[in-house]
């Protein structure tokens, strides 16, 4: 199979995010749009080893989404990758839907979830309240390491999330247990719901802080597929050290009136805005 | 009364873990710097590959436990209840309970029985905040032997659970021949005049009172070791028979076992009900027996409340 054209895939992801959110009428736009490239690379560019027909395949690389409000980009990409029908995207945030506002992963011995909806294939963890996924990823990476399993555990978190103290508890535990199989990506888009991260609560020198914990840190451009490829090569060089990737992205990427505007953190486009956004995504900037 | 053997419920837990470690390689322990105190030190020495020490970080402890459980392990996440579930409740709610993971939250040093450490360390709210979570089992062993049984049973039952332990040595007063089953109350003593229902070692005091009053007042004593799912059937049957219920626990009277019992009885079998526990107050330093006297939970006080209900 020829390698897919990742920029095109990412563009389709963005289009589907816009559609899903406009239909849902609520949800978080900016972060999802900003991370469409890495999701394209993860699921279509060989970034993750995964099997859409076998979501529980033991050898799969795990992707833990710690910033649960990025759910639309995860759902859209999973649907496009064949984990569930694309048509289901229009049920986002609707009652009875598997596409919950924030992702829910529920382990059931029996089929019944008791939740009123079923669990979406491909979702690895429950997240929403920030900071929690990083610890979950550390636990999964530790389990893999102790069993001698060779898959990667990826974790995607947001920059605002770094303000949660729990994340720092998680980083030092990953270092202590030498979790070289953990790659933690921070979407550094400098927005959070109330404003710019650098104004709401500056993170200091994040690279130095992470290095100070003992992590290997790499800074990349989250819209550059060559940079993403480099992460993989680099990650293999440090078998005993957890990796942190500070991934700089443009929030709302791809739609001019959304880019770099924190107000798009937690709102969806209206129908009219969605048409404009889709037009721009299809035809390019006016 | 015959002299009863004394042992802390945390010791029963530690012993059970060791034997579980031998039997099941999926059993793991995550601890937040309280290995010795929570009696998991030996487990860590024997099974280092299944022990994780996270330091003073209860939120990460619970999240990390969730990650281990997502990979198929049965994980005991162990700390003092004041810290977990005290500090880690959000992580328990989302990463464990909503995700329906096989994580057993073990909260030690609960109740006034913690003693000299004082109010900060005397978890008196933990049953309330745990039993409100959908799907969460809440188990409060009455003595060390029962703590052992509860630990073993919980390891065999898939799903999130809270196990409430205590620091102080208390009497092994539950008849070992009684069947122990999660979700099934034990009738420790049959009676017909009044029902005393309780959980945890404090129930031993109620047993003393029941023995003392025997011949004059026939007290039925129920060990509601599983606060959730509560054994409503046994409770209702007893309340129907006696018409009077006294509830006792080393916990706030609001939201704990007393709350659970009141919920069941007020809906299904309204009878006279009184709840003993800590009455919307903070604890303080002191010896457990002195605190129980001061806060109205000693045998003397229980006897008084039984007498009052019998009037
Ligand atoms: Mg951000």
Contacts of A172 in chain B (CB under 8 A): 55
B118 HSE (CA, 13 A, CB side) = 2
| pLDDT, mean of residues A236-249 | 97
| Catalytic residue chosen out of the listed positions B58, B125, B249, B303 | B58
Whether residues A170 and B64 touch (CB distance < 8 A) is answered with yes
- Residue among B63, B96, B102 with most chain A CBs within 10 A, to mutate: B63
Q: Does the pLDDT value for residue A117 go beyond 70?
A: no
Calculate how far, in angstroms, residue A216's C-alpha sits from the geometric centre of ligand 1.
21
A265: left (phi over 0), alpha (psi -120 to 50) or beta: alpha
What's phi and psi for B8, nearest 5 deg? -85, 150
What distance in Å separates the CA atoms of residue A250 and residue A263, rounded to the nearest whole number? 13
Residue B169 has pLDDT above 50, yes or no: yes
Tokens of A252: 């709302």
Interface of B to A at Cβ within 8 Å reads: 49, 52, 54-55, 57, 59-60, 62-73, 90-91, 94-95, 98-102, 134-135, 158
CA of A123 to the centre of ligand 1 (A): 21
Tell me if A139 and B54 make a contact (CB, 8 A cut-off).
no
- Rounded to an integer, the average pLDDT of B226-240 is 98
| Dihedral angle sign, alpha carbons of residues A108, A110, A114, A118 | positive
Residue B42: phi and psi, rounded to 5, are -65, -40
For the domain with range B6-171, which CATH number is right: 3.20.20.80, 3.40.50.970, 3.40.50.1100, 3.40.30.10? 3.40.50.970
| Band (A3; pLDDT cuts 50, 70, 90) | confident
Measured in angstroms, the CA of A64 and the nearest CA of chain B are apart by 10
If you measure CA to CA, which chain B residue comes closest to A134? B63
CA-based torsion, B14, B15, B16, B21: positive or negative: positive
Whole-prediction pTM: 0.96
Considering only the beta carbons, identify the residue of A124, A139, A146 that sits closest to B64: A139
Domain ranges of chain B: 6-171, 186-306
B68 neighbourhood in chain A, CB within 8 Å: 139-140, 142-143
Cα–Cα distance, B273 to A171 (Å, whole number): 50
- With both helix axes pointing from N to C terminus, report the angle between B58-70 and A132-147 in degrees, rounded to the nearest 10: 50
Sorted by sequence, the CB contacts under 8 Å of residue A36 that are 6+ apart come out as A10, A11, A13, A14, A17, A73, A77, A253, A254
Token pair in block for residue B192 = 């017909």
List pLDDT tens digits, range A154-175.
999 999 999 999 999 999 999 9
> Predicted confidence band at A115 (pLDDT cuts at 50, 70, 90)?
low
Asked if pLDDT for residue A112 goes beyond 60, the answer is no
Q: What percent of chain B shows pLDDT beyond 70?
A: 99
Tell me phi and psi for residue B276, to 5 degrees. -110, 140
Q: Is A126 on the interface with B (CB under 8 A)?
A: yes
Query: Strand B194-198 and strand B51-53: pairing?
Result: unpaired
Look at A129 and B98 and tell me if their CB atoms are within 8 Å. no
pLDDT above 90 (res B272): yes
Percentage of chain A lying above the pLDDT 90 cut: 93
Q: Where are the domains of chain A?
A: 6-90+122-282
Specify whether B303 is catalytic.
no
Tell me the C-alpha distance between B191 and B220, whole Å. 4
Q: Is B121 helix (H, G, I), strand (E, B) or coil?
A: coil
Distance CA A273, CA A268 (A): 9
Cβ <8 Å between B101 and A107: yes
- For chain B, say whether A142 makes contact (Cβ under 8 Å): yes
Residues of A within 8 A of B134 (CB-CB) are: 114
B66–A139: do the CB atoms touch at under 8 Å? Answer: yes
3-state secondary structure B172-185: CCCCCCCCCECCEC
Fold of B186-306: Rossmann fold (3.40.50)
**Tens-digit pLDDT profile for residues A49-88:** 999 999 999 999 999 999 999 999 999 999 999 999 999 9
> What are the tens digits of pLDDT across the range B98-125?
999 999 999 999 999 999 999 999 999 9
Whether the Cβ atoms of residue B114 and residue B295 lie closer than 8 Å to each other: no
Query: Exposed (0-12), middle (13-18) or buried (19+): which is A55, by Cβ within 10 Å?
Result: middle
Q: How many CB pairs lie under 8 A apart between chains A and B?
A: 110
Q: Look at the alpha carbons of B89, B95, B100, B101 in this order and tell me if their dihedral is positive or negative.
A: negative
Between CA B212 and CA B222, with CA B217 as vertex, the angle to 5 degrees is 80
Fold match between B6-171 and B186-306?
yes
Q: Name the pLDDT band for B259 (thresholds 50, 70, 90).
A: very high
pLDDT, position A113? 45
pLDDT at residue B120, rounded to an integer: 97
Give the class (CATH, top level) of A6-90+122-282. alpha beta
Burial B121-151 (b: 16+ CB within 10 A, else e): bbbbbbbbbbbebeebbbbbbbbbbbbbbbb
Q: Which of B111, B114, B113, B91 is nearest to B101 (CA)?
A: B91
pLDDT band at A286 (very low <50, low <70, confident <90, very high): low
pLDDT, tens only, A80-98: 999 999 999 999 999 999 9
Distance from CA of B267 to the nearest CA of A (A): 24
Cβ–Cβ of B95/A132 closer than 8 Å? yes
Chain B nearest-CA distance from A154, in A, is 13
Q: Angle CA(B253)–CA(B254)–CA(B255) in degrees, nearest 5?
A: 120
Buried b or exposed e, range B251-262, using 16+ CB within 10 angstroms: bbbbbbbbbbbb
- Per the CB < 8 Å rule, is B54 touching A105? no
Cβ–Cβ < 8 Å for A174, A138: yes
């Amino acid at each position: 199979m020829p390698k897919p054209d990742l920029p095109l895939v990412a563009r389709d992801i963005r289009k589907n995010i816009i559609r899903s959110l406009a239909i849902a009428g609520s949800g978080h736009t900016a972060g999802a749009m900003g991370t469409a490239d890495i999701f394209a690379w993860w699921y279509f560019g060989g970034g993750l080893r995964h099997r859409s027909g076998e979501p529980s395949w033991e050898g799969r690389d795990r992707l833990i989404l710690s910033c649960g409000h990025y759910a639309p980009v995860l759902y859209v990409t999973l649907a496009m990758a064949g984990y569930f029908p694309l048509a289901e995207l229009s049920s986002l945030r609707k009652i009875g839907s598997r596409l919950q506002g924030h992702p829910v992963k529920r382990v059931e011995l029996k089929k019944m979830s008791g939740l009123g909806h079923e669990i979406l294939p491909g979702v690895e963890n429950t997240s929403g309240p920030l900071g929690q996924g990083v610890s979950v990823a550390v636990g999964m990476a530790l389990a893999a390491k102790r069993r001698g399993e060779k898959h990667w555990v990826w974790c995607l978190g947001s920059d605002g999330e770094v303000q949660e103290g729990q994340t720092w508890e998680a980083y030092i535990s990953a270092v202590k247990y030498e979790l070289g199989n953990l790659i933690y990506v921070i979407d550094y888009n400098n927005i959070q719901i109330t404003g710019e991260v650098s104004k709401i609560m500056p993170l200091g020198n994040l690279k130095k802080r992470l290095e100070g914990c003992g992590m290997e840190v790499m800074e990349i451009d989250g819209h550059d597929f060559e940079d993403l490829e480099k992460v993989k090569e680099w990650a293999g060089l440090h078998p005993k050290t957890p990796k942190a990737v500070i991934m700089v992205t443009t929030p709302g990427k791809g739609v001019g009136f959304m880019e770099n505007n924190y107000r798009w953190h937690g709102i969806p486009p209206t129908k009219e805005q969605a048409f404009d956004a889709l037009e721009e995504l299809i035809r390019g900037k006016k | 009364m015959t002299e009863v053997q004394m042992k802390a419920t945390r010791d029963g837990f530690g012993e059970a873990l060791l034997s579980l470690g031998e039997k099941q390689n999926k059993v793991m322990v995550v601890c937040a710097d309280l290995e010795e105190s929570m009696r998991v030190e030996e487990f860590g020495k024997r099974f280092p590959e299944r022990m994780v020490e996270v330091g003073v970080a209860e939120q990460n402890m619970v999240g990390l436990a969730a990650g281990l459980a997502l990979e198929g392990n049965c994980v005991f996440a162990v700390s003092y209840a004041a810290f977990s579930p005290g500090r880690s409740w959000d992580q328990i709610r989302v990463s464990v309970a909503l995700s329906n993971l096989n994580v057993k939250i073990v909260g030690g040093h609960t109740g006034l029985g913690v003693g000299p450490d004082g109010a900060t360390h005397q978890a008196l709210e933990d049953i309330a905040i745990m039993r409100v979570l959908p799907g969460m089992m809440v188990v409060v062993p009455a003595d060390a032997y029962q703590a052992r049984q509860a630990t073993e049973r919980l390891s065999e039952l898939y799903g999130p659970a809270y196990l409430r332990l205590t620091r102080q040595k208390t009497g092994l007063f539950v008849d070992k021949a009684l069947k122990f089953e999660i979700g099934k109350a034990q009738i420790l003593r049959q009676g017909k005049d009044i029902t005393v229902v309780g959980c945890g070692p404090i129930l031993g005091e109620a047993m003393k009172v029941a023995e003392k009053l025997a011949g004059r007042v026939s007290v039925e004593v129920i060990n509601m070791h599983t606060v959730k799912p509560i054994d409503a059937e046994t409770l209702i049957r007893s309340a129907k028979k006696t018409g009077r219920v006294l509830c006792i626990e080393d916990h706030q009277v609001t939201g704990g076992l007393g709350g659970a019992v009141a919920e069941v009885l007020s809906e299904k079998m309204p009878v006279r009900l009184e709840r003993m526990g800590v009455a919307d107050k903070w604890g303080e330093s002191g010896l457990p027996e002195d605190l129980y006297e001061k806060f109205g939970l000693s045998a003397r006080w229980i006897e008084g409340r039984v007498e009052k209900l019998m009037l």
